[in-house]
Amino acid sequence: MTLPRRSHPRPLDLNSGRVDLTHGGGGRAMAQLVEELFVAAFDNEILSQGNDQGAFSVPGGRMVMSTDGYVISPLFFPGGDIGSLSVHGTINDVAMAGAVPIGLSAGFIIEEGFPLADLARIVTSMAAAAKAAGVPVMTGDTKVVEKGKGDGVFITTAGIGMVPAGIDISGDKARPDDVILVSGSMGDHGIAVMSQRESLGFETAILSDSAALHTLVAAMIAAAPGIRVLRDPTRGGLAATLNEIASQSAVGMVISETAVPLKPQVLGACELLGLDPLYVANEGKLICICPPEDAETVLAAMRAHPLGGDAAIIGQCDADPHHFVRMKTAMGGTRIVDWLAGEQLPRIC
Amino acid sequence: MTLPRRSHPRPLDLNSGRVDLTHGGGGRAMAQLVEELFVAAFDNEILSQGNDQGAFSVPGGRMVMSTDGYVISPLFFPGGDIGSLSVHGTINDVAMAGAVPIGLSAGFIIEEGFPLADLARIVTSMAAAAKAAGVPVMTGDTKVVEKGKGDGVFITTAGIGMVPAGIDISGDKARPDDVILVSGSMGDHGIAVMSQRESLGFETAILSDSAALHTLVAAMIAAAPGIRVLRDPTRGGLAATLNEIASQSAVGMVISETAVPLKPQVLGACELLGLDPLYVANEGKLICICPPEDAETVLAAMRAHPLGGDAAIIGQCDADPHHFVRMKTAMGGTRIVDWLAGEQLPRIC
């Protein structure tokens, strides 16, 4: 029998090609996209196993798993893009348990017609973020939906990590008198994204703070293993995140307006846009709650790290039975910092 | 100071309510959706920790991680829906390494205006599938995109599992003379979904085979720890999956057309629609490749399991340097079973 010659597809056209439905179909076109773009960019031994799952070894112990979907619009913004964000954001959710990240999975949902050049830019950025963080993308999946049934690209990453022995960090562990710290200025990510949104036509020098915080967390828990709570104030910003923790831990909180680090440009942009910076998303900042005796140690550890230079103590927990978050204002009054009722900035992450 | 009374939102209207952008905003509406729908349905201790990550303990050893995005259309189909499918599919990807699944993450991307009743139906089905499989949804995320920027709901699940000591199953381990088995009839899922697609107006009694295969896998590796390859033939069906394995293992394969289990209704529907059943997706079947001396043992173990009653030996690997998959036809000839070139059935999973 003479066997037909197997066709050799031309390489992906990363300049002017577009994603079509065949790239999600499970056949040769999908295999080519995965090999030439994803596996080439992520370039690690686990992904290169070529199976529908990545295999790796773990020591026994306490582990965490987290996931986030990224639907940010626009896909590219000052200081990052959906690719780097999808790595940083999920590493951060893993790190907020005090865990050392092991690896990520990545699921792409791509709209038919999306330029392969933009996809390559996103995947390259994602791979660079993963390599810089030392956290491999170990497994992935690609789906394509018809034009008009998606919006460019959505990425859902999941992450896993191991919690070091003796560390027990959770949102329900804040106690009255515990001290509340933040690792830097609030609102940078949200304002950077807003600046890119065409409809606002707003320009600012603010860059997103998108960053992987796991090495900052490692430095903090090395200095103070008794840290009670870590959480990154993303959607809903500082205000929503403090309210979540207050509710989960059944404590009140009092923060000081003048102590919350804010960049003057962010404050100015917020005033212009009618936004409260306490509700604007961050992607490279964390909130830490620790026993009062650890506060200065934690603050020093944060400030000694490149991602914590502007860290500050912003307040303290109390025994308020209503679990309110209150703020001492610059004017000397006190106001309630409520949950965000609705959506302030849609598709900010 | 008199504190303002905190508003108590009314319960979610699961009859006639719709998802709006506030349900993805990080504020109180999202917290309500998560608590009243997701946490209530999934109802497990890890998710109920209420953190941005789920924590659990693992023994040391070899672990796998997998992810899949589910964009199936329609969302509800005979034998399942996107919720149960998103649990089964990812459990299966974990199980195909011979691993015992530990848990899942779930990321939802919901289109604004999607009926809460449909979301509840999906989440309830997902929770039921997870409970039936004994694999908890440990952590999750919810995003909402504007109307026209998505398509109802997309779900991306990730899964992790532990590989038992001594098990080493991977797509690159097939060797010449190894035997190829399938666990049951091919094409049921794809045809069930096609039957629901309005544009085809096609009716059939075929149900999707959507099912979690981890207990079948456990029975198989208990009987024959030397199994070389397991893979579930989803998108692209048996043909694409065999080609993937042939390429990865650098072997050829010869299968027998008459040995491939096919339901008469599926065969009939395929003839009507001009589809080749070898390329139609399955969601509750697996391909197994094992050394020849294990083949009968594996077959017996499969047939003894409720999900392997129609298991069959369908062919054997050979040393073909072209790594072709060939099929002995019912007519006595031989033809190449090529990769699927493009997309046969878009959004089938």
Tell me the CA distances in angstroms from A337 to A90, A238, A262, A283, A312, one per residue in order. 27, 10, 17, 21, 19
Domain, as residue range, for A269: 179-336
Question: Which has the minimum average pLDDT: A252-266, A284-298, B19-33, B172-186?
Answer: B19-33
Could you tell me which chain A residue has the CA closest to the CA of B3?
Answer: A336
Same domain, B294 and B228: yes
Chain-chain contact of B58 with A55 (C-beta, under 8 angstroms): no
Q: What is the mean pLDDT of residues A177-200?
A: 90
Q: What is the distance between the alpha carbons of residues A340 and B9, in angstroms, rounded to a whole number?
A: 13
Establish if A85 belongs to a structural domain: yes
Contacts of A75 in chain B (CB under 8 A): none
- The pLDDT value recorded for residue B201 is 56
Q: Are residues A184 and A321 in the same domain?
A: yes
Distance CA B304, CA B286 (A): 15
**Partner-chain contact A67 B342, CB within 8 Å:** no
Report phi then psi at A269, rounded to 5. Answer: -65, -40
Report pLDDT for A345. 80
d(CA B258, CA B256): 6
> What's the pLDDT score for residue A8?
52
Q: How far is B322 from chain A (nearest CA, A)?
A: 9
Specify whether A224 is located in the same domain as A290. Answer: yes
Distance CA A175, CA A183 (A): 20
Same domain, A150 and A198: no
Question: Which CATH number does the domain housing residue B267 bear?
Answer: 3.90.650.10
Does A123 share its domain with A220?
A: no
Q: How many Å apart are CA B30 and CA B23, to the nearest integer?
A: 4
Q: Is residue B172 part of a domain?
A: no
Is B346 in contact with A25 (Cβ distance < 8 A)? yes
| Residue to test with chain B: of A65, A160, A163, A344, most B Cβ within 10 A | A65
User: Which chain A residues contact residue B59 at CB under 8 A?
Assistant: 60
Whole-number pLDDT of residue A203: 59
Q: What is the pLDDT of residue B344?
A: 67
Express each pLDDT in B284-334 by its tens digit.
Answer: 999 999 999 999 999 999 999 999 999 999 999 999 999 999 999 999 999
Q: Is residue B4 part of a domain?
A: no
Which chain A residues are Cβ-neighbours of B51 within 8 angstroms?
Answer: 96-97, 170-171, 231
* pLDDT score for A27: 86
Residue B267 in any domain: the answer is yes
Give the minimum alpha-carbon distance from A197 to chain B in angstroms, rounded to a whole number: 15
- Whether residue B16 is contained in a domain is answered as no
Distance from CA of B69 to the nearest CA of A (A): 6
CATH code for the domain of B76: 3.30.1330.10
Question: Is residue B113 packed enough to be buried (19+ CB in 10 Å), middle (13-18) or exposed (0-12)?
Answer: middle
Contact call for residues B311 and B302 (beta carbons, < 8 A): yes
Same domain, B73 and B159: yes
The 3-state secondary structure of B99-163 reads CEEEEEEEEEEEECCCEHHHHHHHHHHHHHHHHHHCCCEEEEEEEEECCCCCCCEEEEEEEEEEE
Cβ distance of B343 and A22 shorter than 8 Å: yes
B306 Cβ neighbours under 8 A, 6+ residues apart: none
Question: For residue A340, what is the nearest residue in chain B, using CA coordinates?
Answer: B27
Q: Do A105 and B65 touch (CB under 8 A)?
A: yes
Question: Could you say which of A27, A150, A342 has the minimum Cβ distance to residue B340?
Answer: A27
Domain closes at, from A163, A196, A229: A163
Domain presence at residue A171: no
Are residues B125 and B225 both part of a single domain?
Answer: no
Determine, for residues A25 and B66 on separate chains, whether the beta-carbon distance falls below 8 Å: no
Which is nearest to B4 in space by CA: A320, A206, A335, A312?
A335
Contacting residues of A for B150, CB less than 8 Å apart: 149-151
Residue A195 is encoded by which pair of tokens? Answer: 């600046």
Nearest-Cα distance to chain B for A60, in Å, is 4
Q: Which of these three, A132, A163, A194, is where a domain ends? A: A163
Of A136, A163, A190, which closes a domain?
A163
| Residues whose CB falls within 8 Å of the CB of residue A220, separated by 6 or more in sequence, listed in order | A227, A230, A288, A298, A301, A302, A305
Taking the CA of residue A92 and the nearest CA in chain B, the distance in Å comes to 9
Is the Cβ pair A67, B170 closer than 8 Å?
no
Are residues B186 and B323 part of one domain?
yes
- Using CB atoms, which residue from A27, A29, A149 is nearest to B151? A149
The average pLDDT across A127-135 equals 98
Classify the phi-psi angles of B219: left when phi > 0, otherwise alpha if psi is within -120 to 50, otherwise beta.
Answer: alpha
Cβ pairs A/B, distance under 8 A: 305
Give domain status of residue B271, yes or no. yes
Chain A hits for B49, CB-CB cut-off 8 Å, are 170, 172
ipTM reported for the complex, 2 dp: 0.95
What is the b/e burial string over A39-71, where b = at least 16 CB atoms within 10 angstroms of the residue's CB?
bebbebebbebbbbbbbbebeeebbbbbbbbbb
Q: Distance (Å) from the C-alpha of residue A348 to the closest C-alpha of chain B?
A: 9
Q: Residues B121, B236: one domain?
A: no
> Among B65, B231, B346, whose Cβ lies nearest the Cβ of A139?
B65
Q: Are residues B28 and B152 both part of a single domain? A: yes
What pLDDT, on the 0 to 100 scale, is given for residue A3? 38
Q: What residues of chain B score a pLDDT lower than 50?
A: 1-6
Position B322 in a domain: yes
The pLDDT of residue A197 is 82
Contact check, Cβ <8 Å, A53/B99: yes
B119 and B263 fall within a common domain:
no
Our count of domains for chain A comes to 2
Q: Does the pLDDT at position A93 exceed 50?
A: yes
Tell me, what's the pLDDT at B342? 55
For residue B219, the distance in angstroms to the closest alpha carbon of chain A comes to 20
Calpha distance A44→A131 (Å, rounded): 9
Question: Is the same domain home to A190 and A123?
Answer: no
Question: According to the model, what pLDDT value does residue A98 have?
Answer: 98
